[in-house]
Every structure is written in C-alpha cells, then in structure tokens.
Amino acid sequence: MKNILLTIEYDGTLFSGWQRQPEKRTVQGELERVLGIVCRCPVQLNGTSRTDAGVHALGQRASFKGDFGIPTDRLMLAANNILAGGMNAVGKAGDLRILSAEEVPEDFHARFDAKGKKYVYKILNCQETQIFRRNQYYQVRKELNADAMRRAAGYITGTHDFKCFQSAGGQEKKTTVRTVYELNIIEGKTEAGQRTLSIEIKGDGFLYNMVRIITGTLVEVGLGKLSPEALPDILKSGQRQKAGHTAPPQGLYLSKVYYDLEDLAGL
C-alpha cells in the first residue's frame, strides 16, 4: 500500500471548485478519474484546501493511498499526459497539472497534517477593461492607495478572532481565532505596463472566504472608503457587515501549503 502526496496547479476558471460534485467538472473529480485510469484502481483524494469555483492554485496538495504497481515518478507523467489531452497533447497545456508526486508515511494526511497555507490575491489596477486578464485578476479601475492598504494590513497581522472576515455557508468551526503570520502588498506591472497589486497572506488557517473578504476590505481602504485605523474596531466587533466586500474568486491563488511549523512561521 502506497501513500502518495501530490503537488498540483490549476486554472480554476472552468472548474466548479475543488470538491467532487455530481455532474460537474471539479478538480478533485478530474484528478480522481485520471489517477484511477493510471493506477488501475479507484482513487480517493484528500485535498488540503477546498477551493471555490474560479479560484486557482499554484501549490495545492492532496494525498491518496492505493495498492498499484506503477512507479511514483511514472504516475505523474502518465496522469499529466491524459490531463493535457493524451495522444493529441503535443505542444498543448491543459488547465490542471501535477507538479510533483512523492511517497509519504502511511499515516500522513495532506489536510490534517498541514500547519498552514499561503494565498496570493492578484489585483489589476487600471482603467481600461482587460478581457484577457479577467479570469486571473480582480480589476479595480480607480487608483488604490497601497500605503493605506499596508497600514490596514498591519492591524490584521497577528493572532485575532477573525469572525468578521467569515462568510455564511462554510463549515462550522470550533473557533474563529487564527494567526496571520504575514500580510504583504506588493506593487508591480504587467508586460504592458499596467499596475498590479499582489496581496500575499500566510497563516495557520483560514475561515470560509476569509482571504477574499480581507482583500475586499483592503481594497475599500485603498479607495478611501474605510480608514486603516478602523481595522481594530472591525476585528473587535466580529460583525461581517462591518468589514468590506467579498472580492471575486478570479484573483485568488492557493500558493503554498506548509507542513513544517517553523517554515510557516519563518523561524
């Protein structure tokens, strides 16, 4: 019996999220289908994060167990060939790819052994409509004040009750207290010279839509609709309606999953 840990990247545009659903194309469902063909046995994946429809991943992790003969290094190559289109895959890239496959101890679980995650949220800050970037960025047309957003981010970093940054509809959690180790706002430009802002957030866990609501709140700070100094009171209130809007899924990327606490905390 092998226990395999996968690292996966995907463009979430045409997926109905991670979790398998009847009659819908999902990342988990597609991977389980292809791995079942390669391993010649049913496969059930345990994913670290149940990303929503439209959300992307640069480093999603998932594990599965099975009694199959194909070598681990060949498993990834065979699965990626099918995911890219099989015999017609020359020169083509699909929207889902396995980046690595490794054998791990039998008791390892991709979700329950994770110590934390890093997300990146990409904002395109320009006036002109960008149709070819609409599935990769959240376009904000009015100029954002990045310095004000950074001041607000300073209040979010640390250990807090993040109930105000949680959407209704997620799984009930025992506690809404989380630790955000880093929250950085990085300015850049596209190849065409358009301004971008990347919000990078690393923490020990995230509530339902927490990153998207934090992003929406920071955008409202950047637009001058909220003061950076309002963040402590928003956090203390625990009220969702006091925080900003929920940013759309298209700009969100699951960047990295941490299994080492020291790596997560930057120790």
Closest C-alpha among 189, 232, 223, 254 to residue 58: 254
Q: Tell me the pTM.
A: 0.95
Q: Under a CB-based contact definition with an 8 Å cutoff, are residues 126 and 195 in contact? A: yes
**Mean pLDDT (the chain, rounded):** 95
* Interval 224-229 mean pLDDT: 98
pLDDT value at position 267? Answer: 60
Start and end residues for every CATH 3.30.70.580 domain found in the chain? 2-103
The DSSP call for residue 260 is -
**% of the chain exceeding 90 in pLDDT:** 89
Closest C-alpha among 159, 74, 59 to residue 118: 59
CATH class of 116-265: alpha beta
**Catalytic option among 52, 95, 113, 161:** 52
Q: How confident is the model at residue 127 (pLDDT cuts 50, 70, 90)?
A: very high
The answer to whether residue 89 scores a pLDDT higher than 60 is no
pLDDT value at position 172? Answer: 73
The answer to whether residue 99 scores a pLDDT higher than 90 is yes
Over the stretch 2-56, which tens digit does the pLDDT of each residue have? 999 999 999 999 999 999 999 999 999 999 999 999 999 999 999 999 999 999 9
pLDDT value at position 174? Answer: 87
Start and end residues for every CATH 3.30.70.660 domain found in the chain? 116-265
Based on the residue annotation, tell me whether 204 is a catalytic residue of this protein. no
Give the tokens for residue 122.
């990409």
Q: How confident is the model at residue 265 (pLDDT cuts 50, 70, 90)?
A: confident
Looking at domain 2-103, does it have CATH number 3.30.70.580?
A: yes
Q: How confident is the model at residue 226 (pLDDT cuts 50, 70, 90)?
A: very high
Q: Under a CB-based contact definition with an 8 Å cutoff, are residues 252 and 206 in contact? A: no
E strands present in the chain = 2-10, 46-47, 56-66, 96-103, 116-124, 138-139, 158-161, 177-189, 195-203, 252-258
The SS3 of residue 80 is helix
Over the stretch 142-160, which tens digit does the pLDDT of each residue have? 999 999 999 999 999 999 9
For 15, 20, 97, the CA distances from 23, given in Å and listed in that order, are 12, 9, 22
Characterize 115-150 residue by residue with b for buried, 16 or more Cβ atoms within 10 angstroms of its Cβ, and e for exposed.
ebbbbbbbbbbbeeeeeebeeebbbbeeebebebbb
Q: 119 labelled as ligand-binding? A: yes
pLDDT value at position 93? Answer: 75
Over the stretch 166-188, which tens digit does the pLDDT of each residue have? 998 777 788 999 999 999 999 99
